[in-house]
Amino acid sequence: MKKTSVLVAVATATVIGAAAIAQTNVYSRNAVGAVRIDVPPGGQFVMAGFSFKPIGADTITLKDLLGTNQLVQFNASPGASRVYIWDPSMGGGGGYVSVYQRSDGNFYLIAAPTVQTNPLISAGQGFWLQSPNNATTSMPVFIMGEVLSSNETDRIHTTGFMMIANPYSAPLDINGTNVSWIVDGATAGVAPTIADTVYIWDGAGYNSCYLRSVDAKWHYATPPFAVATNAIIPVGGAAWYKAQKSFTNALTRPYPWW
């Protein structure tokens, strides 16, 4: 699949569509939040993220997350909505679990259309949504869940590429105060080639940053390599993270809890 290969090559990726993300942040006890993600038409993509906790659970199936009345269902993948979930454990440095929703409401593998599957999604996980090839208008998709209330949540980063989202229901500034990258084990360096890098998808391309050892801050990965002042993963948005080595990232809740 030519378009899928473009998604993997994040460092050289071109624009693959634009998306509008509207969010509702609710910070009350046992609150449920929702975010609207608009998938652009014509077989284009949007990078989405699950910025909530599954209600009453740690993981949720893709079918339960997206439902059976939001995506376009069709019995051949080009005419259906498609979802691409990055799995870093696949051989060769990771790969996609690529699925589409058929008219029975279930998800099937694009590469094996007779094989039904229902992948698990967890808080802070990112994935791609793609519209049907013949779609002429953008399609709203609503993602909802329980607002994460824990004081801290951990995310294991594996070596190489991972698709990440903010598990908390507030925008994540990667230079913000609710995460200590180097303390947690992220790799900093004097140049992007030897440091951890983040590629934040903003609907029109990637905002690329690297973790610089001089000041322990994220800097833009292009000259003059300034400190990243607008490197934010929005609620419902996602990014690529390329780790030089594995580590566990501890994120502190960025909003008050009563």
Residues 93-129: tens digit of each pLDDT = 899 999 999 999 999 999 999 999 999 999 999 999 9
pLDDT in tens, 21-45: 444 444 445 688 999 999 999 999 9
SS3 45: strand
Instruction: Give the pLDDT confidence of 193-226 residue by residue, as tens digits.
Output: 999 999 998 887 899 999 999 999 999 999 999 9
**Whether the predicted model's global pTM rises above the 0.85 cut:** yes
Domain ranges of the chain: 2-146, 152-252
CATH class of the domain defined by 2-146: mainly beta
Confidence of residue 138 (pLDDT cuts 50, 70, 90): very high
Answer whether residue 51 shows pLDDT above 50. Answer: yes
Q: Give strand pairing partners of 47.
A: 128
Q: What is the DSSP string of 80-117?
A: S-EEEEEETTSTTT-EEEEEEE-TTS-EEESSSTT-EE
Distance CA 75, CA 106 (A): 10
Cα dihedral 58→126→91→197 (10° resolution):
-120
User: Sorting pLDDT into bands at 50, 70 and 90, what band is 55?
Assistant: confident
